[in-house]
Structure formats: C-alpha cells, structure tokens
A and B are shown apart, each in its own frame.
Chain A
C-alpha cells in the first residue's frame, strides 16, 4: 500500500490540564473519505485541529504527505497549509467580507493571479459547493445555516486542496440538505481526488459516505474500519455507539440498499 496521506504516531494532546489524546495512532490513506467518530468530548475536533496544524501536540508526531509537522520551516508550513482546506463547524466565514470575497481571500493570499481570474475561480468554487450566484454578494450574516455551510465548503476548496478537513459538515442541516451535502462531498472527492477527513455525529453520513471510520475514545483510536465492521467490534464503547437506535436505523436503511 502507498504511503498514507496522514500518519499519526503516539499523539498526545492536552487542553489545559486535561489530556485529550494519549498515545493515539492513526493512518489515513490518500483519496480516502475518513470519518472520525466518537462520543461528545472524546476529542474528535481536537484531533482535527491537530491534523490541520492548529494545535501543537504535546508529544508524538503527525506526518502530512510524509512531512513531520512538528519540525516544519515557515515556508514548508505555508506550503502545507496551501494543500489543505478546513471547513469549521460554524463556518468561520469572515463577517466583514462578502461570500465571494471570503472564497477569493485564500486565492489572493497564496497566488499572484489577477482579480478577474481570482473571482472566476472563486465563483466556480461557489458553484461547486452548490451556492446560487446571487449568494456571492451577500454577507455571512445574511446567509441561512445551509448556505453558510456551503460557503464555508467553497472557501475550504478555494486552493484546490489535497486534504479537506470538515468539522461536523451536516450538523444543523435539515435531512434533505444533509443528504445533499453528503452527496456533494462524495462528488467532490471523486471529481477532485481529495482526501477527506470529516468529524461527524450523523449516523447517515457514517454509514453512507465514509470509507473508513476511526472511532475515538479514551484518548486513542478504539476501532477503525467501515461502519459495518465497527458494529461487530469487541470494544464495548464502539458497540454501544453503533448499537444506539439512531445508528441502527441508519444501518438498516443502508442494508436495504
């Protein structure tokens, strides 16, 4: 098997005094859609932040595309950041800019393209994320929840990243919107060859779109594999999570397909 896009070894992270991850190991293959699951407070978002270079681990290594992230030079770090897109849970759109400017911002920062080309690329990203062209001139405060998610996705795609981190992409969307968003993620992954890491609680997302699920608990990866394999896991926490009524229903509807 080829080298993994992300390789995490013996990761230890702390928030204040609380140890979130203790000796966590995880490999994520390139082109794979990996979901990080786990009960609330198990450190899914913290893991995402560590992988996205937003949080310095206390110990252990994270390698992105074979580069250890703990010993990066500034220019290497900037290059690496250009290869990843992060979509935050609440969008984190810049409130002082229009949606189009939000998407154009990383392009302006990382490339020397003229305005017209930047805006053309930005508009393409908005369309890819499924936003109507009218939304481009709106400010984030004028967007609905679903539109905010799409705009945030468009911005995370701005630099054609190889790695896409999504934090709870379908949380807060209506079921139809959530399904559409799931499809959109798979579609973009197939089209652009992305490696996608998503943190999610959504049972449907876990069953339908994730190639791999890494289940986090007690500071490490308790189990990993496709949803079906995890239901058979011997770990009580994993069985409990996948044995819940909502998860069962999502699994049942997946079985029918």
Chain B
C-alpha cells in the first residue's frame, strides 16, 4: 500500500527537477528535453489520480505533438546558446526575494487552508478512477457547444500560422 506514495514522490521529484533544469540549461534543446521529462512525470501523476484519458492525451498531444513542434523549430532556426543579459539591481535584490516570498505564501496557504484539508479527507473516500465513457458523455452532451467552439479556434490558429509563415511578397 506504500507504492502510490513512492510513485507520487518520485514523479514529483522528477517534475520539479525537470522544471529546474529548464531554467538552468542554456541550450534551448536541453530545455525542451527537460520539459518533456516534466510532462511525462505529470502523465504518471494523472494515472495515479485515476484520469487515464487525460494521461493518454498528455503523452500524445503534449509530449508528442506540441514538443515535437518545439524541437522542430529549435532545429530549424539552429538556436544556439542563449545570451545572458544583466538584470537591473532592483530586480535582483528586491524582485527575487519577493518572488520566493510569494511562492512560499501560496504554498503555505494551499497546504494549511481549510479547503485543502477538507478535500484531502474527502478524497480518501474516492477509490475508483474516472471512466473515459463518462468523460466523453460529459464532453459531447453538456459541453458540446464548447467542443465545437474549440474546433473553430483550431481552424483560426491554423489560418493564423499559415498567414504568419507565408513568404512576404
């Protein structure tokens, strides 16, 4: 019964490590590979939460399609080592500590808030996962209009990308 805890902490460590590597690496291709690591760790966490369909489309759409697009553009543009520029003193000595402070406050609020603890106890009652059948029924009945609207959104995105990528006359 200790296995879910081990899987959770291993995946959490993997995801945070990947995010830190994304910040620290100076080659864009290394950033892309560490982002893929984060996405795969999150897909395993979705499986742990019982959302199989979301886990599958996380792998297929994010790690498969979107990140392949990123890697393709990085290789197409031959993106090399990122230049470093100096930050202002204000950003370095005031912005960074305030940013970490905000992060700590948000994490502490999430951890100690009444909502979090109540939800934490409530979740222990739930044992079975979400069924993909119920999810698709929800998606194609209650959210049908939104689903059709996203198809228009995708169409507009394709047209926008085509217009932007067209050679200038």
Decide whether A and B are members of one complex: no
